[in-house]
Amino acid sequence: MPFIEIKGVSYVYPLREGVSLKAVKNLTLSIEAGEFVALTGMNGSGKSTLAKLLNGLFKPTEGEILIDGISTADEERIFDIRRRVGMVFQNPDNQTVATLIEDDVAFGPENLGLPRDEIIKRVDFALQAVGMSEYRKRDAAKLSGGQKQRVAIAGVLAMRPDVLILDEATSMLDPAGREEVMGVVRKLVDQGITVINITHNMEEAALAKRVVVLRKGRLAIDGTPSQVFSSSLLESCGLTLPPAAALAKELKDSGIDIGTVTTEESFAEGICKLLK
């Protein structure tokens, strides 16, 4: 049985008297334990809504979501769901709870009722992983945009969730920070954690094994990065190719075919092969 099962799920936001908005529409999708999935699509296509459905923050208006067999609508198990599905929100300001950074990161593990030394171990690990150890005694509210994002990621890492959902968690990071965080993600994937990375960065999406694309609340494309990037639906989903792949395509249109390119490395190799 897949670890995450989304079965015919819809979600409706009530807007005002008599007006509502269906943000997710009859979505069916399953994700196996240990998968590394990128979730992408136009602004407003339903990605963040889906993320909040997955960790039980929202309940499906229709259909059902099972996490390791537990329904997210099961109020008695909600604590279990939250513990298993950790989420880094799109706006890190929504996420800080304590004043000191280390307390903020410790908040989750403390709520799990873990022993003191285990909490300390986890906080150390998480702060280290995002490169914020030296800031641990600092005020969590008084950070730059990218620093806040790092602390938010650390807070979720310290929970050691089975499923990690990152909602545009790298959007404010500098290139080095982005690489660091993606390095941590890859390590977590190697350890068997299921990762769902919501991103508008196509190079980052290409790092995942599977890319799921939403469009107006529905599933539009689901496949490997190279399948998705060669899909005829790509443009209608508001997406583009990663820069190197886009250039390879332009060169092909000029008669120079360097083959399928998803990474910069494969671009360079393709060019070199042709020139040899």
Partner 1 sequence: MQAVEIKNLSFVYSKGTPNEKLALDNIDLSIEEGSFVALIGATGSGKSTLIQHLNGLIKPQDKKHSSVIVGGKNAADKKTLKTLRFEVGMVFQYPEYQLFADTVEKDVAFGPKNMKLPADEVSRRVKRALETVGLDYNEFAERSPFDLSGGEKRRVAIAGVIAMEPKILVLDEPVAGLDPAGRAELLALIKKLQKEVSPTVILVSHNMDDVAALADRVVALKDGRIVADGAPRDVFSHRAFIMHIGLDLPTAARLVDKLEKKGITLSKRIITMAELKDALLSIFKKRAKKRGNNMGYAQINAVTDGNKNADENVEECDGASPVDEKAKGDESSPVSDEKAEGDGAKDENDSGSAGGGEDV
Ligand X SMILES: Nc1ncnc2c1ncn2[C@@H]1O[C@H](COP(=O)(O)OP(=O)(O)OP(=O)(O)O)[C@@H](O)[C@H]1O
Report which of 237, 241, 269 is spatially closest to residue 253, judged by C-alpha positions. Answer: 241
Q: Binding pattern to Mg ion, positions 48-67, x when CB under 5 A?
A: x-------------------
CA neighbor of 61 nearest in space, from 30, 22, 28, 87: 22
Residues 178-197 that bind partner 1 (CB under 8 A): 178
Q: Which residues pair with 41 in a beta bridge?
A: 214
Contacts with partner 1 in 44-73 (CB under 8 A)? 44, 47-48
What is the rounded (10 degree) CA torsion for 219, 221, 222, 227?
Answer: 180
What's the min distance (Å) between Cβ of 32 and partner 1? Answer: 27
Do 83 and 159 contact (CB within 8 A), yes or no? yes
Q: Which residue shows structure tokens 């959902």?
A: 165
Verify binding: residue 197, Mg ion, rule CB under 5 A: no
Length of the chain as a residue count: 276
- Both structure tokens of 248: 């390879």
- What tokens were used for 134? 């030296």
Name the nearest CA neighbour of 244 among 233, 234, 236, 252.
252
Q: Is 142 in the site for Mg ion (CB under 5 A)?
A: no
Q: Which partner from the list partner 1, ligand X, Mg ion, none does 233 bind, CB cut-off 5 to 8 Å by kind?
A: none
Residue 265: name its binding partner from Mg ion, ligand X, partner 1, none (Cβ under 5 to 8 Å by kind): partner 1
Q: State the minimum distance, in angstroms, from the CB of residue 253 to ligand X.
A: 30
Could you list the residues that contact partner 1 (CB under 8 A)?
13, 15-16, 40-44, 47-48, 90-91, 93, 137-139, 142-147, 150, 167-168, 171-178, 200, 202, 235, 238-240, 243-244, 246-247, 250-251, 254-257, 264-265, 267-269, 271-272, 274-276
